[in-house]
Amino acid sequence: MESLATAFAVSLGKYVSKEIVVFIISMIPILELRGGLIVASLLKVPITTAIPLCVAGNILPIPFILLFIKQIFKWMKKVKCFRGLIERIENRAMSKSDSIKKYEFWGLVIFVGIPLPGTGAWTGSLIAALLDTETIRQYKSICDDLGLSALVEAHDDAEVDRALKAGARILGVNNRNLKDFTVDTANSRRLRSRIPKNVLFVSESGVKTAEDVAQLAAIGADAVLIGETLMRAPDKTAKLQELKGLL
């Protein structure tokens, strides 16, 4: 892996900064995050800069892989010059899929975390997409292994149940109705009883006053997500203090 990472670093380094090189390397299959860290060491990029760059680079392709890769592969295999390459990529990924098929969530976590060439978030996402495992579970397992805490968002009863079934440990209830875009914190109060006490509960949107915060805290909200209220406040520091009940 080191020789391959070095070759990419030398080629890319002619055109972009060393930080961009590290970021790009982390996006490349086989090299992935650990390849980016090797390149960062070779280029003497500080570890405090390298780690966020590598994590961001490794994560960036994941949503596109999980959502679109099967359709893209299906289209590319219709083109003769791409067919062989795509089949080799699929075969390589699926040759590593036995443990994921057997152990599902934990198989994917272990695979993403194994520090070997050909393993990591990119390849793990590809395998997950090809195996058609539950999308929320795919995202969550990859986030876990990258050291990220995944907040799974829900709007109604069915989405709450789906998130819990996928093993969500942080669940955000969005109070915005996506059909008519009205906002009502009653949605959080209605769905709170469906969420176990050991799952962190976040109420999202519609929080405008300290009274709103207090009401949500009373039903057991662990946190609130406040966007528009703070963005529109002329004095954001004062508004935040008000919401915290300090004014």
Longest dimension (CA), the chain: 68
pLDDT of residue 38: 84
Q: Which residues contact 237 (CB under 8 A, 6 or more apart)?
A: none
What SS3 string covers 91-110? HHHHCCCHHHHHHCHHHHHH
pLDDT of residue 247: 45
pLDDT per residue as tens digits for the range 197-218: 999 999 999 999 999 999 999 9
pLDDT of residue 150: 82
Angle subtended by helix axes 236-243 and 210-218, to nearest 10: 40
pLDDT of residue 166: 81
Half-sphere exposure of 230 (CA within 13 A, CB side): 14
Identify the segments of the chain with pLDDT beneath 50.
133, 247
Residue 169 DSSP class: S
pLDDT of residue 172: 92
